[in-house]
Structure 1
Amino acid sequence: MKTFKALSLLLSYPEQDLQATIPAIRATLKDEGLLGPHRMGHLEPLMASLAVDDLYDLQERYVLLFDRSRSLSLNLFEHIHGESRDRGGAMVDLLETYRAGGFDLDGPELPDHLPVLLEFLSTRPLEEAQGTLADAGHILVALAERLTRRQSVYAGVLEALVALAEARADTEEATALLAEPEDDPMDLAALDKVWEEAQVSFAPDPNAGCPVSRDILARMDLPVRTAATAAE
C-alpha cells in the first residue's frame, strides 16, 4: 500500500524534494482511503506545514524532536535494546527480513529506522504490513503519546500508525515505555551524558540497490529515499 510510503516520507528529514511532493502525498493518502477522514484531518497540519514553512525551520524542528530527543528516536530498537548487544542481533534479523522480501536499503539509515520500515511495508500485502506494525505497537503508542504531549504536528502520523497497527495503550509493554522519563532536547549537558555511550555501528551495504522501492516510487511519483534525501 502506497499509504505506508507516504507516511514514511512524512517522517523523513525535510528537504526541498519533500516539500514539493506534499500534494502527491496528500492525494495518495486520500485516494487509498486507508486512514479515513478523521486520521487525514490529524495529518493535515503537518502536511500544510511541510508544504509552506521555511525549510530551515522545518529541519530545526525535526532535529530537536527526533535527533536530540532519545525518547522520541525513530530508531525503534533504541526503545527496546538501547545500546546493548541485543540490538545488533535484532538489526541483522530485520535486515534479513528486508532482503528476503526483495528490499535492500539505499541510504545511511539503520534498518530499524521507522521511515525505512514503513518503506519496506509499502511493498508488502496489507495484512502482513499491519502485523509487522503490531509487533512494534507499544513503541508506536509511546511515540504518539509523547508527541501529543509536546503538541507536535508529527503526532498525527504516529496516531495513524497506531490505528493501522490496532495497537493498545493499556498493554504492559506500552505502559512501561510511557513510564520512562522523557529527555529535554534543550538540555545539552544531559543529552551529552545520555549519548556518551558508544553508538551501535551497523550500516547497510553501500553497494546494495533498492529496485523494488524505486519501482514503486516511479509509479507513485514520489522521491526515492537516498543518502541525499535522508536525515543527517
Structure 2
Amino acid sequence: MLLFRAMSALLSYPSEDMRAALPEIAGTVQVSSFLPARERRNLLDLIDELGRGDLLAAEERYVDLFDRGRALSLHLFEHLHGDSRERGEAMVDLKRVYAEAGFDLSTSELPDYLPVVLEYLSCRDLGEAREMLADCAHILAVVARSLIARQSRYASVLQALLVLAGEEPVDTAQVPPVREHREALDRDWVEQPAFAGAAMPGEQALKASDR
C-alpha cells in the first residue's frame, strides 16, 4: 500500500529527494480512504512543515528528535531490548521474515528501523500489515507520546500508524508538553528498555511461519 511507503519517507532523514517527493506524498495522503480526516490533516501539516524553510533546519530538527535519545528512537527493538544480545537475535529473526517474503533489504539501515518496516509493509497485504503494526502498537504509542510532548508534527505519522493498527491514537490532551534538556536526553540512553520481555514486531508472523 502506497500509504505505508509515504509514511516511511516522512520518517526518513530529510533530503532533497524526499522534499521533491512531498507533493506526491501529499497526494497519497489526501486520497487515502484508510485514515480519518483528522489524521490526514495532521500528516499534511507535517508535509507542509518539511517542505518549508532551509533543508539544513529540517535535518537539524530530525537529528535533535530521533538521534539523541532512546525515547524517540525509530529502531523498534531498541525499545524492547536496548543494546542487549536479544536485540541481535531479534534482528536475525526479522531479516528472516523479510527474506521469506522476498523483501530485499538493500538499505544500510537496520531491519528494525521503522521506515524500513514500513517499506516492507507497503509490499504486503493490508491484513498482514495491520497485524504487524498491532504487534508493535505499544512501542508506536510510546514514541507518539514522546513526540506529542515535544510538540512535534512527526507525531502525526505514529498516530496514523496506530489508527491503521486498529488502535486508538494517543489522546494529545493527556500528554503534558515538556522542554528537553541535555540531562533528559542523556538519561534516555541509559534507561532500561521500555518493554523488556514484550512481544517483538512481527513475532506473530514468525510463529506462523514455524508451524
175, 182, 186: which one pairs with 1:186? 182
Letter in 2 for 1:190: D
Name the CA shift for 1:99/1:45 in 2 (closer, same or farther; >3 Å). same
Task: State the alpha-carbon separation in 1 of the partners of residues 166 and 46 from structure 2.
Answer: 22
Q: Distance in 1 between matches of 2:135 and 2:70?
A: 21
Letter in structure 1 aligned against 2:121:
L
Deviation of 1:130 after TM superposition, in Å, equals: 0.4
Aligned counterpart, 1:119 = 119
Note closer, same or farther for the CA distance 1:87–1:108 as it changes in structure 2 (3 Å cut).
same
Partner of 2:21: 21
Please tell me the residue identity of whatever aligns with 2:137. Answer: G
Matched, 1:167 2:163: no
Which residue number corresponds to residue 143 of structure 1?
Answer: 143
- Runs (4+) of structure 1 exceeding 6 A deviation are none
Q: Equivalences for 1:83-232 in 2 at 5 Å?
A: 83-167=83-167, 184=180, 186-187=182-183, 190=186, 194=190
CA distance in 1, matches of 2:94, 2:70: 21
Paired residue for 1:5? Answer: 5
> Compared with structure 1, are the counterparts of its residues 168 and 111 closer, same or farther at alpha carbon in structure 2 (3 Å cutoff)?
same
Cα distance change of structure 1 residues 73 and 193 upon mapping to structure 2, 3 Å threshold: closer
Residue matched to 2:71: 71
Alignment-mate amino acid for residue 182 of structure 2 = M
Query: Using the alignment, how far apart are the partners of 1:193 and 1:136 within structure 2?
Result: 21
TM-score of the superposition, structure 2-length normalised?
Answer: 0.81
How many angstroms apart in 1 are the aligned matches of 2:5 and 2:49?
A: 19
| SS class of match (2:21) | helix
Deviation per CA, 1:74-93: give whole Å up to 9, x if none.
00000010011111111011
Q: Which runs of 5+ in 2 are unaligned?
A: 192-211
How many equivalent residue pairs?
Answer: 185
1:185 and 1:33, CA in 2 relative to 1: closer, same or farther beyond 3 A? Answer: farther
* 1-structure distance, mates of 2:53, 2:84: 39
Gaps of 5+ in 1: 171-177, 196-232
